[in-house]
Amino acid sequence: MNSFIVKGNIVWAETNKELKSAEKGYLVIKDGLSEGVFDSIPEEYMDYELIDAGDNLVVPGLVDLHVHAPQFAFRGTNMDLELMDWLNTYTFPEESKFSDISYADNIYSYFTEAIKKSATTRVVAFSTLHVEGTMCLMDKLEKSGIISYVGKVNMDRNSPDELREESAEASSENTIRWLEECEKRGYRCVKPILTPRFVPSCTDELMEKLSVIRKEWRLPVQSHLSENTGEVAFVKELEPWSQFYGDAYDKFGLFGGEDGCIMAHCVLSGEDEIALMKKNGVFIAHCPESNENLKSGIAPVRKYMEEGLNVGLGSDIAGGTTESIFDAAVDAVKVSKLYWRYVDNSFEPLSFSDAFYLATKGGGAFFGKVGSFEKGYDGDVLILSDEAIPCPRYLSPVERLERFAYLHGDKTGIKGKWVKGERIL
Amino acid sequence: MNSFIVKGNIVWAETNKELKSAEKGYLVIKDGLSEGVFDSIPEEYMDYELIDAGDNLVVPGLVDLHVHAPQFAFRGTNMDLELMDWLNTYTFPEESKFSDISYADNIYSYFTEAIKKSATTRVVAFSTLHVEGTMCLMDKLEKSGIISYVGKVNMDRNSPDELREESAEASSENTIRWLEECEKRGYRCVKPILTPRFVPSCTDELMEKLSVIRKEWRLPVQSHLSENTGEVAFVKELEPWSQFYGDAYDKFGLFGGEDGCIMAHCVLSGEDEIALMKKNGVFIAHCPESNENLKSGIAPVRKYMEEGLNVGLGSDIAGGTTESIFDAAVDAVKVSKLYWRYVDNSFEPLSFSDAFYLATKGGGAFFGKVGSFEKGYDGDVLILSDEAIPCPRYLSPVERLERFAYLHGDKTGIKGKWVKGERIL
């Protein structure tokens, strides 16, 4: 079951330093897990099905650590405001529509289809605060074969009536109802993740209750952190006792921990916050396009990598416009160069190798052994055709992959996709 | 001849402030020129051929003010160096191959095909210093129907032997031979543009000779200006007499003038240089992606627009990776937000409207009345399908265009293309 060999021009990252590659190599998947990449087929796998990808590229699936599924309907529009105004003007009104299950069903179908067709094999998503809508998204993702975490959002302050739970108590009860429903449905691919939207949306009372739920249910948690100056100032005003933004999660046991924690953005994190993220094993979801679009700035990703923090990439639809994590990788490289130029030239810009590492193994670590072809890693595999990109001379597989990423090859070039050894495209 | 009507969702820019649109409108082209956009077909055009674009978008063709055709072969790779090192390591060796006419023929075929399939209807290109290769590129562009300027490059210093003309005299003679050959071929769509590569590549003696040629032949001129700190420092060292980089062109009558002048980049232009660009009517080719990739920085485009300078967009392949001027427009918006955040918040970031204006009418002005659907403008028209971009709710034509641009719709969505009323796709 789920054992096969893919022959092609294989590229993968084991570290961020240099991409590994094997021209006309053989990737062996056994029971859904990688056995490694070989120059020829080892004797013991001779009877496996051989999938010949021809001259195509073969790479690990990409990982999206941060995306808002309900914002899919307005991605690529409304690029004029900063975070807090953008939320109030466009995002909260849109998310409030997800009380209507038929609206939710429609948008989540589009979203899931887009993710399925993309290079993404793993996704960590926000839904909205609505339990039924969240179940709808989870059902669709489960069916797609993408392995994912989905969070019903908690919000009990600073948003319009239509998009606010009536109390901390109600939010907590909704959350438990959602978790029980998840358990009942016995999902194989999709799991719940606790999702206080961000500090401005959650009272301390709610945070306290989520803390209890987290411990009882052993849940990972996701939220937003230090994204935009206006937001950071608002957090300071709301939680004057907090030493820094992350402290307002940490106090409630929602900042790291062995069940996993993702904080999106971290554009403005100070030294104390960085130290605590490191200590607590927080995963940073770097969302470079969103941080440009909402005028937030550029996260110091090289610094985070050098300090040994966990970093992956996020599309952050609809702050970001595209579900493409290839685009996110390229954007990460580009903005790191501007960071180097304008903010701090003591940190080298990211290379494509750095960015592809973040897009695969970096974010994949949140899911376990995911995002590489080293032995024992989950069999998340993509076959990529770059035939739509004219190539008038020889390029190595690594050069072809870089070019594929920069030139949006994933718009037309995804020819095969496996998640943990299951073919879904 | 070349009179027809296109019905569709029409969007165009008359100013940068707000895009105009007509849902299910009629664009009338008479003898290759726009008669304007109408809600219904005026009586006098009733017998024109009606092209029904259905629910598709109809917009003016885009203008690429700066691209290096011979660098097409390595676009999307080698993104690790700054300008001067990048030129010496990757670019000059590649361009030296264009002494081989069969190599040139091959790469220029790919380049021309890519431009033809793109949203670009007008292009201003560098070739290399080779006369035969340049004629090859010009022949291909002529045949494509794209209206273009192409420049044989002048270089007589600071490059390897294989990519340097042996003297100012030789460079001048080559240029005249090229111009005579252009005249002989009697092109309809493609014209020559004088192209001193940039100050580091051209001795004063060569500049002097080009100055004479320019006057005699009444030629437009293109070059590079104030792109990267290392380059600017080198220019200062080479031409200590110059007040600023642009002054080293101006002294030789190669900075502006009534025959037209494009300077690419202008990331680091100071007040004197800006004032002179304004006075001399220099066109600035803003190349946001290239300026990120080569770590040059961000040009202060809002400032240039507010001061009333001529600004358009350039792909700058292979500093930029893509021929897509839609991508350049989106990049212009994105980097302007980072400029606002990190460099100077007294200049508002660009809106999509600003960027689409630059991509069409802004750059189009270099060609005359180009880049709009106002009466009398050349009939450069695109039909764009966004059906590949899932759209779960109503969007206005302007929103659809923004989304098309952000989500790389031009990779698959160009369904019709006319240049001055001639259909080429």
- The residue in chain A having the minimum alpha-carbon distance to the alpha carbon of residue B80 is A351
Residue A77 and residue B395: Cβ atoms within 8 Å? yes
**A1: distance to nearest CA of chain B, Å?**
35
Exposed/middle/buried for residue A237 (C-beta within 10 Å: 0-12, 13-18, 19+): exposed
CA distances from B277 to A203, A270, B283, B312 (A): 56, 42, 8, 14
Cα B295 vs. chain centroid, distance in angstroms?
Answer: 20
Q: What is the pLDDT of residues B164-201, one digit of tens each?
A: 999 999 999 999 999 999 999 999 999 999 999 999 99
Residue B75 and residue A352: Cβ atoms within 8 Å? no
Cα A393 vs. chain centroid, distance in angstroms?
Answer: 35
CA distances from A277 to A229, A273, A308, A357, B339 (A): 19, 6, 10, 20, 29
The residues, any chain, with a CB within 8 Å of residue B26's CB and separated by 6 or more, are B5, B6, B7, B37, B38, B39, B40, B41
Phi, psi at residue A353, to the nearest 5°? -60, -45
The CA angle B364-B377-B406, to the nearest 5 degrees, is 50
What ipTM goes with this model? 0.97
Q: What is the pLDDT of residues A99-135, one digit of tens each?
A: 999 999 999 999 999 999 999 999 999 999 999 999 9
Residue A240: CB atoms within 10 Å: 7
Instruction: Give the tokens for residue A385.
Output: 């055709």
Are residues A28 and A20 in contact, defined by beta-carbon separation less than 8 angstroms?
Answer: no
Whole-number pLDDT of residue A1: 66
* Helix, strand, coil percent values for chain A (each to nearest 5): 40, 25, 35
Across-strand partners of B125? B67, B150
Instruction: Give the tokens for residue A243.
Output: 């030493």
Average pLDDT, chain B: 97
* Cα distance between residue B385 and residue B413, in whole Å: 5
Residue B335 and residue A340: Cβ atoms within 8 Å? no
| Cis-peptide, bond into residue B318, ω within 30° of zero | yes
Instruction: Give the tokens for residue B325.
Output: 């001027």
The CA angle A250-A253-A256, to the nearest 5 degrees, is 75
Residue A264 has pLDDT above 90, yes or no: yes
Inter-helix orientation angle A168-185/A204-217, to 10°: 20
Write out chain B residues lying below 8 Å of A334, CB-based.
289, 292-293
The residues, any chain, with a CB within 8 Å of residue A212's CB and separated by 6 or more, are none
Are residues B121 and B419 in contact, defined by beta-carbon separation less than 8 angstroms?
Answer: yes
Whole-number pLDDT of residue B226: 98
Whole-number pLDDT of residue B390: 81
Q: What is the pTM of this model?
A: 0.98
* Cα distance between residue B132 and residue A405, in whole Å: 34
Are residues B405 and B84 in contact, defined by beta-carbon separation less than 8 angstroms?
Answer: no
Mean pLDDT of all residues in A292-313: 98
Residue B41: CB atoms within 10 Å: 15
Write out chain A residues lying below 8 Å of B393, CB-based.
73-74
DSSP letters along B372-393, please? S-STTSB--EEEE--TTS---S
Phi, psi at residue B124, to the nearest 5°? -120, 115
Q: Any chain B CB within 8 A of the CB of A342? A: yes
Residue A297 and residue B341: Cβ atoms within 8 Å? yes
Average pLDDT, chain A: 97
* Cα distance between residue A257 and residue A254, in whole Å: 8
* Cα distance between residue A94 and residue A127, in whole Å: 12
The residues, any chain, with a CB within 8 Å of residue A274's CB and separated by 6 or more, are A303, A304, A307, A309
Residue B406 and residue A76: Cβ atoms within 8 Å? yes
Are residues B300 and B344 in contact, defined by beta-carbon separation less than 8 angstroms?
Answer: yes
Residue A135: CB atoms within 10 Å: 20
Nearest neighbour of B73 by CB, restricted to A297, A338, A393: A393
> SS3 of B134, please?
helix
Across-strand partners of A125? A67, A150
* Cα distance between residue A238 and residue A206, in whole Å: 14
Are residues B210 and B253 in contact, defined by beta-carbon separation less than 8 angstroms?
Answer: no
* Cα distance between residue B348 and residue B245, in whole Å: 27
Amino acid at A256: G
From A26, A182, A144, A150, select the one nearest A419 (Cα to Cα). A144
Exposed/middle/buried for residue A360 (C-beta within 10 Å: 0-12, 13-18, 19+): buried
Residue B334 and residue A289: Cβ atoms within 8 Å? yes
Residue B50: CB atoms within 10 Å: 13
Q: What is the pLDDT of residues A62-86, one digit of tens each?
A: 999 999 999 999 999 999 999 999 9
Are residues A286 and A266 in contact, defined by beta-carbon separation less than 8 angstroms?
Answer: yes
Amino acid at B327: D
Residue A138 has pLDDT above 70, yes or no: yes
From B366, B326, B420, select the one nearest B57 (Cα to Cα). B326
Helix (H) or strand (E) holding B112: helix B101-117
Residue A341 and residue B392: Cβ atoms within 8 Å? no
Write out chain B residues lying below 8 Å of A321, CB-based.
403, 406-407
**A32: distance to nearest CA of chain B, Å?**
32
CA distances from A9 to A26, A37, B109, B336 (A): 9, 11, 27, 38
Q: Any chain A CB within 8 A of the CB of B383? A: no
Whole-number pLDDT of residue B1: 66
| Cis-peptide, bond into residue A22, ω within 30° of zero | no
Across-strand partners of B7? B26, B52
* Cα distance between residue B175 and residue B169, in whole Å: 10
Residue A306: CB atoms within 10 Å: 11
265-324 in B: which are within 8 Å (CB) of A? 289, 292-293, 295-298, 321-322
Q: What is the pLDDT of residues B31-88, one digit of tens each?
A: 999 999 999 999 999 999 999 999 999 999 999 999 999 999 999 999 999 999 999 9
- The residue in chain B having the minimum alpha-carbon distance to the alpha carbon of residue A393 is B73
Q: What is the pLDDT of residues A196-234, one digit of tens each?
A: 999 999 999 999 999 999 999 999 999 999 999 999 999
CA atoms within 13 A of residue B132's CA, in its CB half-sphere: 10
Which position has the token pair 């924690």? A261
SS3 letters across B1-21: CCCEEEEEEEEEECCCCCEEE
Tens digits of pLDDT across chain B (425 residues):
699 999 999 999 999 999 999 999 999 999 999 999 999 999 999 999 999 999 999 999 999 999 999 999 999 999 999 999 999 999 999 999 999 999 999 999 999 999 999 999 999 999 999 999 999 999 999 999 999 999 999 999 999 999 999 999 999 999 999 999 999 999 999 999 999 999 999 999 999 999 999 999 999 999 999 999 999 999 999 999 999 999 999 999 999 999 999 999 999 999 999 999 999 999 999 999 999 999 999 999 999 999 999 999 999 999 999 999 999 999 999 999 999 999 999 999 999 999 999 999 999 999 999 999 999 999 999 999 999 998 888 999 999 999 999 999 999 999 999 999 999 99
> SS3 of A356, please?
helix
Label the pairing between strands A4-13 and A49-60: parallel
* Cα distance between residue A95 and residue A195, in whole Å: 15
